[in-house]
A and B are shown apart, each in its own frame.
Chain A
């Protein structure tokens, strides 16, 4: 992704206005203002999203794609309008390429089990990186067991960047798919996905990008990166839980068999034979999270109004400040030093285990994550059991980073 250092971060007034949009940021935790630094796990929701979900249930609720009655028509229109919003957000060519799921994890499982079951043969290779979240590892292990395909791992260097030239050694005519995170949840590494996709396509391999962390942090353009599959979760993008998106290039999606069977995904059903619905409905069996999807549209429009390039610049400024401040502490070690980093910094402090650090930071209202972050292979590779992780969102402030650093003093008081 290109550098966006020319885009200005937010002014104090702008940031204040943004914070006022998020009711949860007004919470007192342990008698102190909440400093929510766990955005890589999930983001808080702006009032527009919360209200849209409530308004749907109050005045728009019906099932979609079924009834001929008034409310059903309204619900269907709202649901399909949200799909169009997602299409524009991703710059996909067609709404047929946008599948709603229950989250990024289900999106990846859908690809592994539908595309993977059809196209993977014994001895075929699936390439994953050392940076992957469990949700971009385990679905591939499951399908590898079923098909006889083999997993290969793209290693990282000492900075937690993907090993230069690592892909050259892994790619061969046996490589059928490369599954790679856009932004690593454990280290904040931004992977050069455009170049990776081009290289994989030249070698005849498909590419799935796990965009769980990237969707809220950097502008996305499916035409620019030329992705085959791109997966994301609404709840990490200021939207509701229980909604995800899977983008699949139409020519690829057309060849994929249904993932789950049920209502909405069929055209005709008899006990002898079922014919399937058009794209993307063939992959949306059962009643979807209609209210969630409708509210998710508000989340996308929210970040679009602010501009993802500005959100990126804001988070970059905060992250650089956090990395610098943490590295200035002699007993603190930040994990990795990636060339391009977005919104996430993990660290260790000598005197205390990450869980104890998180409990003590919580006592002053600072919410961070501790543990392996669903990154057990990465932790093993780094020779550690876990980290404390701060991850930023559109509404975080430098003061909150300072409170985190201040909190480390309390950790030392207790543990030294």
Chain B
């Protein structure tokens, strides 16, 4: 693919749409899981709030400041995990992560596959995974701050 093609793959319409009009942005009073994610290399930040009931992510909201990729990724993630069980969300994260490292069939990821273009931009992969790392923290180590730099 030409670089011009890769660039339009990175900034697909769905990404631009979600970055300009993020879904589930805001604050969640009923939240019982919360985590803060931070990319110290670029300053991107996300606060993720979840309401988990009987093993299901009943509701999700987030507040973020960052680039188009990180905001769109948080928005797409929030849509994808809402109504899913915690196990389903964790499986989704694993598939998403594999997609960005180039080792996965994207067909099962639905709209999330819009972020697959990021893998051609290694410096931007962390923008796309920040929201997911924050989700992982909210589910497993709630009320902690995670950074993209603690990921092995």
Contacts and interface: CB of A to CB of B under 8 A. Distances in A.
A376 interface: yes
Contacts of A352: 68
A371 B42 contact: yes
Contact of B67 (A356, A376, A379, A414): A356
A360 interface: yes
A385 to B, nearest CB: 4
Contacts of B4: 363
Contacts of B10: 359
Interface in A346-374: 352-356, 359-360, 363, 370-372
Nearest to B65: A385
Given A355-B67, A356-B68, A372-B43, A414 B3 contact: no
A240 B127 CA distance: 31
Interface string B57-79: 00000000111110000000000
A57 interface: no
A201 B124 CA distance: 47
Contact of B43 (A359, A360, A379, A415): A379
Contact of B68 (A30, A353, A371, A376): A353
A188 interface: no
A386 interface: yes
B7 A360 contact: yes
B16 A355 contact: no
A354 B44 CA distance: 11
A414 B11 contact: yes
Given A30-B3, A31-B3, A353-B66, A386 B124 contact: no
| A30, A352, A356 pick with most chain B CB within 10 angstroms | A356
Contacts, number: 44
B64 to A, nearest CB: 11
Contacts of A359: 7, 10, 121, 124
A133 to B, nearest CB: 15
B21 to A, nearest CB: 13
Interface in B27-45: 41-45
B43 A356 contact: no
B42 A386 contact: yes
A415 B68 CA distance: 9
A363 B3 contact: yes
B3 A353 contact: no
Contacts of B66: 353, 355, 385
A385 B44 CA distance: 8
Contacts of B124: 355, 359
A371 B3 contact: no
Contacts of A414: 11, 16
B129 to A, nearest CB: 14
| B43, B44, B65, B66 pick with most chain A CB within 10 angstroms | B43
Interface in B48-98: 65-69
Contacts of B7: 359-360, 363
Contacts of A386: 42-43
Given A353-B66, A355-B127, A356-B69, A371 B43 contact: yes
Nearest to A410: B7
Contacts of B69: 355-356
Interface string A368-405: 00111000100100000110000000000000000000
Contact of A372 (B3, B42, B67): B42
Interface of A: 30-31, 352-356, 359-360, 363, 370-372, 376, 379, 385-386, 414-415
Interface of B: 3-4, 7, 10-11, 16, 41-45, 65-69, 121, 124, 127
6 contacts: A363-B7, A372-B43, A385-B43, A385-B45, A415-B16, A415-B68
Question: Lowest 10 A-B CB distances belong to which pairs?
Answer: A353-B67, A355-B67, A30-B3, A385-B43, A371-B42, A363-B7, A356-B68, A372-B43, A356-B67, A386-B43
Given A385-B65, A414-B16, 16 more contacts: A353-B66, A353-B67, A355-B42, A355-B127, A356-B67, A359-B7, A359-B10, A359-B124, A360-B7, A371-B41, A371-B43, A385-B43, A385-B44, A385-B45, A386-B42, A414-B11
